[in-house]
Structure 1
Amino acid sequence: MASQLPTSPERIAAILKFLDETNRLKDTLRSGHTPGGRRESTAEHSWRLCLLAIVLGNDLEGIDLLRLLKICVVHDLGEAISGDIPATEQSAGDDRAARERTDLATLCAPLPPDLKADIIALWDEYAEARTPEAVIAKGLDKIETMLTHTTGDNPPDFDYRFNLAYGVEATNRHPLLAAIRAHVDARTGSLASHPGR
């Protein structure tokens, strides 16, 4: 094993400054609700997305699990600045991706150049879905959102049918994603036919 040089105090300070800023993700609320009925944070969504990747890791042949986890952790970091746009309000051409990338670059500004470049490259990989790991991350991201919709204590007017059309393209790009989606769609169908549970 190659020995590493000790991390400089300046590098440590830069990393800690970045972590202080990204801590805001814990207060960035999404439209999904927890089983207890409160709105979830983006940090909570990212945590469960990573957990989903871990428990499926053995079934994802040819996927670099560490890279997948890195992408999952980074994919919504930019929301720490401008917040989350609920899935129900997203549309093509809404410039959301450009804003999130700009916000991510702002968050990464304190980092040493190598770390900044690594994090932004992971985000770009996700946004462009240009690798197998990014394809899986995008699909799992949609599935995690759908799972939250089906297990949260949602408001009485929550439209479960939204799930049935949400993220179809992303979840159809891999057989395992499609298989999981079929289960989530069945769960959603049951909820949609019995509003107010």
Structure 2
Amino acid sequence: MSAMSSIPNILTFLHRANQLKTIIRYKSSLSKNGDTVADHSWRLALMVFVIGGELQIPVNISHAMKLALLHDLAELETDDVDAVDVIKKKVKLEDKQKNEAAAMKHIVKDISFGGEIFALWNEYEKQQTLEAKFVKALDKIEAFLHLDETGTSVYIPKEFYADYADAAVNSFDIASKHFPPLKGILDPIKTELKRKFEENGVMWVEKTA
């Protein structure tokens, strides 16, 4: 396919991706101040660039940024599932993953470069590369940042499961053997978040505490 003939596919894909600007996150956990999937994906890509570069993380930053930009693309069809609903088993993780895989196949099926888009998304889902682990760790940290910045006073549940991000962050730190570890970024965010939640009467639940 020539460069000119691929333009309709490019525009179709961009129109579809634009819907992420309307998908609200944190619907079960925040009464207001939920960001959109597009907001989240943009800052996640920014975190990959800044943290990856400044801390000299041993990953392909350009590739990791692609994973960050595409990791939640399926949600333009499935909607965002709040982590609280998965933690409380209101939504089965297996069902979420199955629905998102089907959505991704539908989203890219008529796009000339859809195979590449799906492969990048699937790489993130499989969590077998260092780049995928890096992006997932930062994905969880970004969520904690958002709550710290805008969410503690409007948090709906009576408890906050504070070890939600630990597995992803530890998985990358162990795989990369990098110093300083990403835990060094997560821990001060958690300290500040815990203080704010306790001030607002939200119980801090952490198995490792």
TM-score by length of 1: 0.85
Q: After superposition, where does 1:33-44 map in structure 2 within 5 Å? A: 37-44=32-39
Unpaired runs of 5+ residues, structure 2, are 174-180, 203-209
- Would you say 1:14 and 2:9 are equivalent positions? yes
Aligned equivalents of 1:55, 1:70: Cα separation in 2 = 14
C-alpha spacing 1:130/1:41, structure 2 compared with 1 (3 Å): same
| AA matched with 1:45 | H
Helix, strand or coil for the counterpart of 1:162?
strand
Could you tell me which residue of structure 2 aligns to residue 178 of structure 1?
Answer: 183
Q: Which moved more, 1:153-162 or 1:120-129?
A: 153-162
Aligned equivalents of 1:177, 1:188: Cα separation in 2 = 17
Aligned equivalents of 2:192, 2:159: Cα separation in 1 = 11
Which consecutive aligned stretches of 4+ in structure 1 deviate over 3 angstroms post-superposition? Answer: 91-94, 153-161
| AA matched with 1:122 | L
Could you tell me which residue of structure 1 aligns to residue 76 of structure 2?
Answer: 80
Report Cα offsets for 1:106-155 as digits up to 9, x if no partner: 1112311xx21111111111111110000000100000011111111455
| AA matched with 2:81 | I
Q: After superposition, where does 1:121-140 map in structure 2 within 5 Å? A: 121-140=119-138
Could you tell me which residue of structure 1 aligns to residue 177 of structure 2?
Answer: none
| RMSD (Å) for aligned C-alpha atoms | 2.3
C-alpha spacing 1:171/1:22, structure 2 compared with 1 (3 Å): same
The answer to whether the Cα contact below 8 Å between 1:49 and 1:144 also exists between their aligned partners in 2 is yes
Q: Which moved more, 1:176-185 or 1:67-76?
A: 176-185
Aligned equivalents of 1:88, 1:74: Cα separation in 2 = 22
C-alpha spacing 1:156/1:46, structure 2 compared with 1 (3 Å): closer
Could you tell me which residue of structure 1 aligns to residue 199 of structure 2?
Answer: 194
Report Cα offsets for 1:153-176 as digits up to 9, x if no partner: 455444585251212210112342
Report Cα offsets for 1:28-64 as digits up to 9, x if no partner: 11117xxxx5321100000111111111122143200
C-alpha spacing 1:87/1:117, structure 2 compared with 1 (3 Å): same
Q: After superposition, where does 1:148-167 map in structure 2 within 5 Å? A: 148-154=146-152, 156-159=154-157, 162-167=160-165
- Would you say 1:105 and 2:100 are equivalent positions? no
| AA matched with 2:96 | R
C-alpha spacing 1:48/1:149, structure 2 compared with 1 (3 Å): same
- Would you say 1:25 and 2:25 are equivalent positions? no
| AA matched with 1:72 | A
C-alpha spacing 1:53/1:157, structure 2 compared with 1 (3 Å): closer
The answer to whether the Cα contact below 8 Å between 2:158 and 2:201 also exists between their aligned partners in 1 is no
C-alpha spacing 1:159/1:151, structure 2 compared with 1 (3 Å): farther
Q: After superposition, where does 1:39-50 map in structure 2 within 5 Å? A: 39-50=34-45
Q: Which moved more, 1:95-104 or 1:81-90?
A: 95-104
Aligned equivalents of 2:58, 2:74: Cα separation in 1 = 29
Helix, strand or coil for the counterpart of 1:174?
helix
Give the count of matched residue pairs.
187
| AA matched with 1:84 | D
